[in-house]
Every structure is written in C-alpha cells, then in structure tokens.
Amino acid sequence: MEQSHDKLIMTVNAGSSSIKIGLFKGHPGQDVPVLFAGAKFDGIGTLPRMKVTRADGSLATEKQFDPKEAHDQITAFKLIFPALLSELHGQEPALIAHRIVHGGEHYTEPVLMNQHHLQELKKVIPLAPLHEPFNLAPIEQILKSNPTLPQVACFDTAFHANRSELSMLTGLPYSYYEQGIRRYGFHGLSFEYISHQLHHVAPSIANGKVIIAHLGSGVGLCSIENGKCVEVTTSFTALDGVPMGSRTGTLDPGVMLYLVGQGKTYDELENILYRQSGLLGISGVSNDMRTLRSSGDKRAQLAIDYFAYHIAQQIGRLAVTVGGLDGLVFTAGIGEKDAKLRSQVVRYLEPIFKLELDEQANEGNAFQISSGESQAPVLVIPTDEESMLAKHAWKIYNKL
C-alpha cells in the first residue's frame, strides 16, 4: 500500500462457478474507496482459471488449475490469496465485503456478519438456491479461520426494500405477505451503482423516470425516480420477470401445478425452473448469448427473439409505474456488449416512446447510443457492484 494508514478492503462476489475479488484502498476521511486490483476465478469444478488485473488494466497474473485443486468455492477462495500477495504488499485486509443475493424480509441494509446473522441467512437459501449457498460459503470459512476480521454483508434485495406495499404484494392472501412472501427484487447493488453514476454522467435525467436493464446471465429491470426504486421485475425469487440464461422468467403458476400432477418432484421442478429453462431451455443449445449468436440453429434465434420481446414488454410495464420514460440504461454483460439485442429491444419501443438509436454508436457500445432525434436518451453504463460493496463496507468500518 502507498500509505500505511490506508486500509485494505477486499470485496467478494461469489457465484456458483466463479468468484470475483476486488481490492480497494480506504483512506480516512474519504467516503469512496479506490480500486487498485481485482481478480476473477471462474470455471470452478470444471476448468478453473484465475486472472488478476490492476486498476489500470494491466495483467498481474493468470493461471489455470486442475479441477481437483478448485472443486468448490472454498478451495478456490484459498487459492486466490497467494496469487494476490504481490498486489497486497504484505498488508492483510482490514475488512471484507460480500455480495449476498437475498436478504429476506429482515436484512434491508448492510450488516456486520457474525454467527447469528450467518444462521439467519442460511434460512433464506431456498429462496435463492443458485446463489445464496455460494455467497455464504466464504463468510462461514472466514468466521471459522479468522473470526476477528470484520466481514460486511451487502444485499442485492436492499435497494428495493423501501418500495410501496402495493409493489411488494403478490396476489396471494394477505396473510402470506405478513409471513414474508413478497416481491423482494434483485440485482440491487447494480441498480444502486447505476443510480449513483447517473448523477455524474447524465445529471439531466438522474432524478427523472429512468429504467435500468441489467442483462447478464441473471436478468432484472428496475424503474427509478429520484434515484429510488419504484418497481422491479424480479420478485420473491430471482426466477420472476424476464427469461434468463437458464431460468424461466415469469411463468403461469398453473404450469407447476400441472407438472406436480404429472408426478414431478420438488427437486425436479427446481431443476427445471432454475437450470433447464430460459435461453438454454428454449434454444436447446446454450445459456450463453455469444454461443446463441454464433449458432445457426433456428431455436437459438427463437430464444434470442423471445428474450428481446420480453425485455421490451417489461420496459413498457415499468414505464407505467413511474408515468413515463426520461431515460433507458443498458448494463451488465449482455446489456453492455450485445448491440444487436439492444437494437432489437429499442425497435419494439420506438413507436411508443419515440426512441431512436444511433446505429454506429450502438455498434461501438458507446455511452450514449441514441440519436439526437430520440425523445429520451438510451445509454450504456458498465455496472460495478464491487465498488458499491467497498463503499458500504467502508462506511460500516468507520463506525466500528
């Protein structure tokens, strides 16, 4: 570290087959920590590989591992530290911030983790089975190995927690809402980051009626006004809303009743909903848009068309919740890089919202991809969940 009184903040974003690590410097008196290095470990259990890069984009190290060396998140997590030592300059992390997909009913803001919170959050695992176990695994490991090291959990559901009761309700009897069955919403750290960024990069719409489309392997759209969430497409679980890489998106519950009647078990239904549907299920080819784009299979194109169709539908629905559209933002892996998808979505919206793309800007993944004739700006803003993790954790650390 450049200054001895700087504190090292490590951010951890652990998924089912990957772990993203951010290293930030927190300086006393500064609200926003500064990124100086990052690492990504993906292909866990299959083709494990790790890449460490510095903030300027230069490569620090890159390495592949035998699947037996990194067969789960814990073994992969242990391999990351030696690779980061050269970037740490001998300094140990002062705190670690973790992304947690689901905070349930009670966790609506970042929290300093302990065994009690860990056990409470384990109860939420059935609501996010693809993510929550892997989010919690590093926390549990560190609580055992280094219990005095502060760990802060930041929740993807928190950004949506102050929506109206009308937005949070389901159509079930109200007693279920009182029991915690409600529309929570996800990808909140991403939406929060974009909401903050608008004040810097597009201040004219930052407090307006903006729809953010987070399009990655997981998908969620959110309408904001005055920087606050009004409505979101995901709900009780991360299944709802737009179809995703391997998840259904919105589905008539009667389909599940029918399949139960056909003898499907709980585990089989969970597998269908979370792992066999969406782009993968429709195409029969892949859950990866890049693979679908390169495929000549008609069902691959059908999956892409279905995806775009439902994104546009949800944008229309969200515009109703805020009474208009002052700006549209695409973010996350697909949203930031797939120009053809953005063009396809905007074509659906053009007759209603008078949006128009600058095709050259769109093809180049420019910041503003709308033309001067567009009634509202259409923007591409890279998301940065890690910086939000660091910011939240640093704020809590400074209160210890």
Check whether residue 217 and residue 364 sit in a common domain.
yes
- Say if 85 falls within a structural domain: yes
Radius of gyration, alpha carbons of the chain: 21
- Say if 246 falls within a structural domain: yes
- Say if 309 falls within a structural domain: yes
- Say if 32 falls within a structural domain: yes
Low-confidence ranges of the chain (pLDDT < 50): 1-3
pLDDT in tens, 280-318: 999 999 888 888 998 889 999 999 999 999 999 999 999
Read off the CATH number of the domain in which 240 is found.
3.30.420.40
Measured CA distances, 110 to 161, 256, 285, 340 (Å): 12, 35, 39, 37
Check whether residue 39 and residue 132 sit in a common domain.
yes
Q: Which residues are catalytic?
A: 156
- Say if 195 falls within a structural domain: no
Contact 41, 48 (CB under 8 A): yes
What are the residues facing 213 on neighbouring strands? 221, 330
Residue 385 annotated in ligand binding: yes
Residue 49 annotated in ligand binding: no
Residue 290 annotated in ligand binding: yes
Check whether residue 242 and residue 134 sit in a common domain.
no
Check whether residue 267 and residue 342 sit in a common domain.
yes
- Say if 194 falls within a structural domain: no
Domain that holds residue 109: 7-155
Count of structural domains, the chain: 2
Check whether residue 31 and residue 90 sit in a common domain.
yes
CA distance 3 to 12: 23
Residue among 365, 369, 328 at smallest CA distance from 194:
328
Check whether residue 139 and residue 257 sit in a common domain.
no
* Distant-in-sequence, close-in-space partners of 362: CB < 8 Å, separation ≥ 6: 339, 342, 343, 369
- Say if 357 falls within a structural domain: yes
Residue 29 annotated in ligand binding: no
The pLDDT score that the predictor gives to residue 85 is 67
Check whether residue 221 and residue 367 sit in a common domain.
yes
Check whether residue 215 and residue 334 sit in a common domain.
yes
Phi, psi (deg, nearest 5) at residue 208 = -90, -160
pTM of structure: 0.88
Check whether residue 262 and residue 379 sit in a common domain.
yes
Check whether residue 244 and residue 132 sit in a common domain.
no
The pLDDT score that the predictor gives to residue 63 is 85
pLDDT in tens, 229-268: 999 999 998 899 999 988 999 999 999 999 999 999 999 9
Check whether residue 151 and residue 209 sit in a common domain.
no
The encoded tokens of residue 358 equal 């600058």
- Say if 175 falls within a structural domain: no
CA distance 195 to 165: 22
* Distant-in-sequence, close-in-space partners of 215: CB < 8 Å, separation ≥ 6: 242, 311, 330, 331, 332, 333, 334, 335, 338, 341
CA distance 223 to 19: 29
Residue 289 annotated in ligand binding: yes
Residue 160 annotated in ligand binding: no
The pLDDT score that the predictor gives to residue 16 is 61
The pLDDT score that the predictor gives to residue 38 is 85
Check whether residue 148 and residue 207 sit in a common domain.
no
Residue 13 annotated in ligand binding: yes
Q: Which of 155, 177, 212 is the last residue of a domain?
A: 155
Q: Which of 155, 174, 193 is the last residue of a domain?
A: 155
Q: Which of 127, 155, 183 is the last residue of a domain?
A: 155
